[in-house]
Amino acid sequence: MLKVIKNISIYTLLGVLFSFTIQEALNWNVLEYSVETDFVFNTKYGTWVEAPIFSPSIQKYDGKSIVVKGYIIPGNAYEGKYYISKNPNATCYFCTKSGVGTMIELDLKTHQEFNVDDFVTIKGVLHLDDDPTQMPYQLKLAEVVK
């Protein structure tokens, strides 16, 4: 009986540990078409701003661990600010307005340096931000998957 309880306890513990490390791989089609923008009057800034509107299909991932592949776009590399993009730098959201859903701001777990257009797989916790002065998608505790 004690051996059975021990085995159940070990399997339960392993199940709990692995349940916290499961990440969902999201493709860019889900990300790109799950956020739209609309102009709203922002009383704080006294002007019209473009604010994100998230579809229910992406809201279920808010606060969840995800994995995404894409191109590194530097924000302020000196401060360690990077983005991951569906598109290479020459056709990224900032350069061509390819769509706000094609980039994710990275909040790296540890400082890393990247080159422009490094193609990487990144995992982290997705955060949906409706502040019009921020990127709608942010990946917290982000790190490169080897």
CB neighbours (10 Å) of residue 86? 22
Tokens of 48: 């019209």
Specify the CATH number for the domain of residue 40.
2.40.50.870
Burial class (CB in 10 A: 0-12, 13-18, 19+), 105: buried
Decide: helix, strand or coil at residue 114: coil
Confirm whether 7 is domain-assigned: no
Confirm whether 18 is domain-assigned: no
Tokens of 76: 């302020």
Structure confidence by residue, pLDDT tens digits, 5-38: 444 444 444 343 333 445 688 888 889 889 998 9
Confirm whether 63 is domain-assigned: yes
Number of domains in the chain: 1
CA distance 106 to 137: 9
Structure confidence by residue, pLDDT tens digits, 73-101: 998 867 778 999 999 988 777 677 677 88
Confirm whether 60 is domain-assigned: yes
> In this structure, which amino acid lies at residue 131?
D
Enumerate the β-bridge partners of residue 137. Answer: 128
